[in-house]
């Protein structure tokens, strides 16, 4: 692609008088002159004026500067970048759902409500929970909703001194941020050298101010917390609830359910475990499940199945409130439903095991060249602490950037915060042995390059459309729109 010619902004392709769409006219006469001029904008907005073919070529060329699951492998820890089936896309865009208004009476949207209800019941079965809401828009939104459920539960018992949420130091950054938004205070509990929760340290923190303990299991180092049932007993004895961060649910499919591990509240990232596309950052979906006894606190509105087999939308007085104006990202929910139906119960169980096998295979194939700080069987992901040979000065960031030259996305780096040079790899189940072998070869080649030509690795990437952007300049002097760019050029 000729970057000079095609690499422009849509604004730079704009010419007065061009248009890319026509608007239906209803011939109903003119009304805008009835509105006082003081309520109208002074100038028309500066939007691009472009014809349809130019718009199509512009965005198609832009897409070529992007990496996606359909173009290559993402060894991206904690993100579960699995294949996004095509049938899901078609079902989500089904014309029978596309023009339903969210305020339409329940009697006219029975199919949509049945889809919502069927997915919520399937997730309850998979999570080992009594009930689910699909309303939260993303994982972080689910976390927030789940923590609100926990506060609503404690409030309902008049227990208002529970303001603490305990999270392991290996937790996702969203955990403490969600707790803060929900008006709770985060206390970190440290991990043992093997990366799992220090049960004694946790016990010391448990008192009558603890609202909940948030855990992900397997944890962010990919390790199953075998003590989870014991931890749950301790937390429950102290009057707290157990929250399951479902970001790492994928390897547990068919093996064990959060509800059976002792968790009371959980969220699931449909864009991870249930194959809905990441879309360059969203839309996601973060359904929240609760054990029996907490259903009433789930947010309004709720979808229920009535005795006559029809579906309805209801609101409850004990609910934590509403966290969305609608029933959530419905299109994302349809994709997840399509995926669950496509895999079936056997396929779901197979997915979990293959994800774990793929991760262990990579770990065992690279452990001689990369530092493995925790030598245990992992689940869906694992963490290296950078290259084994620390003498070259080549960092985890350098390795990640060099991988781009080999045609792979970078792994998750500098997370979890347990190690200085964390490099976290999660292959998912939809990658073939050949792909994994190519990735392993690339990682081994990079280790060799680091020893023989460290400067070259430090200057990576070398072959990408852009190289080593100046982040500091971007942050010091934010240029965040077309008009800023024009002002800068002057």
Partner 1 sequence: MAHRYFPHTQADIDAMLERCGVTSPEQLYDDVPQELRLKNGYALPSALTEKEVRDYFNSLGAKNTPLTCFAGGGFYHRYTPSVIPAILSRSEFLTSYTPYQPEISQGTLQYIFEYQSMMTELTGLDVSNASMYDGATATAEAMMMSVAATRKRDTVLVSSTLNPKVLDVVKTYARYHRINLEMIESEGGVTSLGDMKGKLAASKVAGVILPQPNYFGIIEDLTGFAEAIHEAGALMIMNCIPADLAVLRTPGEWGADIAAGDAQSLGMPLAYGGPYLGFLCCTKALIRKMPGRIVGATEDINGNRTFVLTLQAREQHIRRDKATSNICSNQGLMALHTAVYLSLLGPKGLREVCTASADGAHYLADRLQATGKMQLKYPDKPFLNEFLMVCRFNVEDLLRVCIENEILAGIKVSDNEILIAVTEMQSRKDIDRLIDIVSTTNFPQL
Partner 2 sequence: MSKTYYSNTHEYAVVDGDIALIGISDFAQKALGNVVYVDMPEVGDEVEAGEDFGAVESVKAASDLISPVTGEVIEINEKLEDNPRLVNEDCMANWIIKVKISDPSQLDALMDEEAYKTFCENESAH
Nearest to 385 by CA among 402, 216, 395, 447: 395
- 15 vs 8: CA distance, rounded Å: 14
DSSP 408-429: ----EES-STTSTTEEEE---T
Told to check if 475 binds partner 2 by CB under 8 A, we report: yes
What b/e string do you get for 223-235 counting C-beta neighbours within 10 Å, with b at 16 or more? bbbeebeebbebb
| Sites for partner 1 among residues 348-407 (CB under 8 A) | 348-351, 353-354, 356-358, 360-361, 364-365, 376-377, 379, 400-401, 404
Binding site partner of 156, from partner 2, partner 1, none, Cβ cut-off 5-8 A by kind: none
- 245 vs 371: CA distance, rounded Å: 27
CB of 420 to partner 2, least distance (A): 10
What mask of x and - would describe binding to partner 2 in positions 414 to 453, judged by CB under 8 A? Answer: ----------------------------------------
Region binding partner 1 by CB under 8 A among candidate stretches 170-178, 202-210, 381-389, 444-452: 170-178
Told to check if 472 binds partner 2 by CB under 8 A, we report: yes
CB of 414 to partner 2, least distance (A): 9
Nearest to 245 by CA among 267, 270, 226: 267
Rg, Å, the chain Cα set: 25
- Bridge partners, residue 288, by sequence: 133, 267
- 409 vs 414: CA distance, rounded Å: 15
Told to check if 308 binds partner 2 by CB under 8 A, we report: no
Query: How many residues of this chain bind partner 1 (CB under 8 A)?
Result: 202
CB of 460 to partner 2, least distance (A): 18
Told to check if 466 binds partner 2 by CB under 8 A, we report: no
| Sites for partner 1 among residues 65-94 (CB under 8 A) | 65-71, 74, 76, 79, 81, 83-85, 87, 89-91, 93-94
What mask of x and - would describe binding to partner 1 in positions 125 to 164, judged by CB under 8 A? Answer: xx-x--------xxxxx-xx--xx--x-------------
CA dihedral 67, 426, 437, 363 (to 10 degrees): 150
DSSP-based three-state secondary structure for 153? helix
Contact 194, 355 (CB under 8 A): no
The residue within the footprint of partner 1, chosen from 182, 197, 374, 443 (CB under 8 A), is 182
The residue within the footprint of partner 2, chosen from 70, 391, 471, 490 (CB under 8 A), is 471
Q: Give residues in contact with partner 2 (CB under 8 A).
A: 471-472, 474-476
């Amino acid at each position: 692609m000729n970057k000079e010619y095609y690499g422009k902004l849509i604004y730079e392709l704009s010419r007065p008088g061009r248009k890319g769409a026509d608007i239906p006219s209803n011939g109903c006469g003119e009304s805008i002159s009835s509105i006082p001029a003081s309520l109208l904008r002074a100038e028309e907005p500066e939007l691009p004026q472009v014809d349809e073919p130019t718009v199509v070529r512009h965005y198609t060329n832009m897409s070529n500067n992007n990496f996606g699951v359909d173009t290559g492998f993402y060894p991206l820890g904690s993100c579960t970048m699995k294949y996004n089936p095509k049938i899901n896309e078609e079902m989500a865009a089904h014309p029978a759902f596309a023009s339903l208004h969210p305020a339409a009476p329940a009697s006219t949207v029975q199919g949509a409500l049945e889809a919502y209800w069927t997915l919520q019941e399937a997730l309850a079965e998979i999570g080992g929970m009594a009930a689910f809401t699909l309303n939260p828009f993303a994982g972080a939104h689910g976390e927030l909703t789940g923590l609100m459920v926990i506060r609503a539960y404690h409030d309902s018992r008049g227990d208002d001194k529970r303001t603490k949420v305990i999270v392991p130091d290996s937790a996702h950054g969203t955990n403490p941020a969600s707790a803060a938004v929900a008006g709770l205070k985060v206390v970190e509990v440290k991990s043992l050298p093997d990366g799992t929760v220090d049960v004694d340290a946790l016990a010391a923190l448990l008192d009558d101010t603890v609202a909940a303990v948030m855990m992900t299991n397997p944890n962010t180092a990919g390790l199953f917390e075998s003590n989870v049932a014991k931890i749950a007993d301790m937390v429950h004895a102290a009057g707290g609830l157990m929250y399951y961060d479902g970001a790492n649910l994928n390897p547990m499919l068919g093996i064990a359910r959060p509800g059976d591990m002792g968790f009371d509240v959980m969220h699931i990232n449909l864009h991870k475990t249930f194959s809905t596309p990441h879309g360059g950052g969203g839309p996601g979906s973060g359904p929240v499940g609760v054990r029996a006894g907490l259903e009433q606190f789930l947010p309004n509105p709720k979808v229920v199945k009535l005795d006559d087999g029809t579906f309805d939308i209801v609101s409850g007085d004990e609910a934590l409130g509403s966290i969305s104006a609608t029933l959530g990202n419905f299109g994302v929910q349809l994709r997840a439903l399509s995926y669950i139906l496509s895999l079936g119960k056997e396929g779901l169980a197979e997915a979990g095991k293959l994800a774990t096998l793929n991760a262990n295979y990579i770990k065992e194939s690279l452990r001689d060249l990369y530092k493995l700080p925790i030598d245990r069987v992992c689940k869906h992901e694992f963490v290296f602490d950078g290259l084994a040979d620390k003498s070259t000065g080549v960092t985890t960031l350098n390795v990640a950037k060099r991988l781009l030259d080999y045609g792979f996305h970078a792994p998750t780096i500098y997370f979890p915060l347990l190690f200085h040079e964390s490099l976290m790899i999660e292959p998912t189940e939809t990658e073939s042995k050949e792909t994994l072998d190519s990735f392993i070869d690339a990682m081994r080649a990079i280790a060799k390059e680091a020893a023989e030509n460290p400067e070259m690795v430090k200057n990576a990437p070398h072959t990408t459309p852009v190289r080593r952007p100046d982040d500091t300049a971007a942050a010091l002097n934010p240029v965040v729109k077309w008009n800023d760019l024009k002002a800068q050029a002057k």
